[in-house]
Amino acid sequence: MKNIWNEAAIRKEFARLDAKTGLKGATLPIIFNNAKCTLGSYNPANGGHFDSPDTIMMTHRGR
């Protein structure tokens, strides 16, 4: 399968949408992860705490 959504392509698309919306999505951090299982994730933006897999999934689902 050809991978067309690399970081450069995502940022280019976000920049296109930013021009229409006035937002700054192209400046957001992008993380690629192909892990089958995750024990947790360190997030300095939440006060430097480790997030559990359940917290990570709830955050990505929009709670």
- Same structural domain for residues 7 and 19? yes
Q: Distance between CA atoms of 38 and 41, rounded to whole angstroms? A: 8
As a whole number of angstroms, the longest Cα–Cα distance in the chain is: 39
- Same structural domain for residues 25 and 3? yes
User: pTM for the full model?
Assistant: 0.50
**Which residue range is the domain that position 50 belongs to?**
34-63
pLDDT of residue 32: 77
Nearest to 59 by CA among 35, 47, 43: 43
- Same structural domain for residues 28 and 53? no
- Same structural domain for residues 24 and 46? no
Summarised one tens digit per residue, pLDDT across range 1-56 is 576 788 899 999 999 999 999 999 998 888 777 777 766 677 677 676 666 656 54
